[in-house]
Amino acid sequence: MIAVVITTYNHTRFLEEAIQSCLRQSKPMDEIIVVDDGSTDNPASVVERHPGVRLIRQDNCGLAAARNTGLAASRSDYITFLDADDRLLPNAIETGVRMLVAHPDAVLAYGAHRFINGSGAIESDKHHVALTEDPYLQLLRTGNFIAMHATVVYRRERLAAIGGFDVSMRSCEDYELFLRIARRGSIVTHDDLVAEYRIHGDNMSNNRSMMLAAALSVLDKQLAGPVDDDVRLAVRDGRRFWKTYYT
């Protein structure tokens, strides 16, 4: 079984496109779950057009909590998380699942994405960073190279077993999770184009000072407890990377 969890907070204007991108998957979805994180723009008006789509409402608790709500509600073997302002391409889920089947030890598989604008027009070629070293050290050293969360397909039970998303994180919760997974399990990748990231005025990543503080906080967490010199050096490089990226 395969699930997509769509999280939304006042992005109802984009929600229909997100749902349609799930319905158009080459491998049909067993579960499409929309988690409304306290929106005031009535996402139910869109979801009710699709009888097979489940809506879960909650008070505004943040993106990490909304994703955890969807994770807890799903019973599928594989799961993907899609922000309501983004879109999946038709091969997204099938490609990710195929990679996980081929690599039984992997917790997640990620692919390539491209950028679109507010009206959905394509703004870039595909973006993909390959694995060139130990994934944990690479994530520390060069930042969140996975970049777009919707390119990721997880094994749901493995994701739940490591605790899902850290609800104390108001941003960079995906980066923190990827590091936690890379430290404990296996990550695999492919370079197929599988998702589209929409650039518009309300993107969380527009708040550069908040994003920088969150990224540095994630790196600091990696130094809690005993660590070897490779990790310390990678964290040092990562701090330089994030400061350059967000300034």
Confidence band, pLDDT 50/70/90 cuts, at residue 205: low
Q: Which helix (H) or strand (E) holds 114?
A: strand 106-116
More confident residue, 209 or 111: 111
Tokens 């395969």 correspond to 2
pLDDT in tens, 52-86: 999 999 999 999 999 999 999 999 999 999 999 99
Residue 225 has what pLDDT? Answer: 84
List alpha helices for the chain, DSSP H: 12-23, 44-47, 63-73, 92-102, 135-142, 156-161, 173-184, 208-221, 229-245
Residue 233 has what pLDDT? Answer: 97
Amino acid at 224: A
Name every residue whose Cβ is closer than 8 Å to that of residue 42 and which is 6 or more positions away in sequence.
Answer: 12
Confidence band, pLDDT 50/70/90 cuts, at residue 204: low
Confidence band, pLDDT 50/70/90 cuts, at residue 1: very high
Q: How many residues does the chain have?
A: 247
Confidence band, pLDDT 50/70/90 cuts, at residue 182: very high
Q: Which whole-number Å values give the CA distances from 100 to 117, 170, 176, 182, in the listed order?
A: 31, 29, 21, 15
pLDDT at 180 over 90: yes
More confident residue, 216 or 204: 216
Residue 201 has what pLDDT? Answer: 73
Query: Where are the domains positioned within the chain?
Result: 2-201
Name every residue whose Cβ is closer than 8 Å to that of residue 102 and which is 6 or more positions away in sequence.
Answer: 188
pLDDT at 184 over 90: no
Report percent pLDDT > 70 for the chain: 98
CATH for the stretch 2-201:
3.90.550.10
pLDDT at 185 over 80: no
pLDDT in tens, 124-179: 999 999 999 999 999 999 999 999 999 999 999 999 999 999 999 889 999 999 99
Using only C-alpha atoms, what is the Rg of the chain?
17
Q: Looking at residues 87-102, what average pLDDT do you find?
A: 98
Across the chain, mean pLDDT equals: 96
Query: Which DSSP string corresponds to 79-96?
Result: EEEEETT-EE-TTHHHHH
Structure tokens at 166: 């850290």
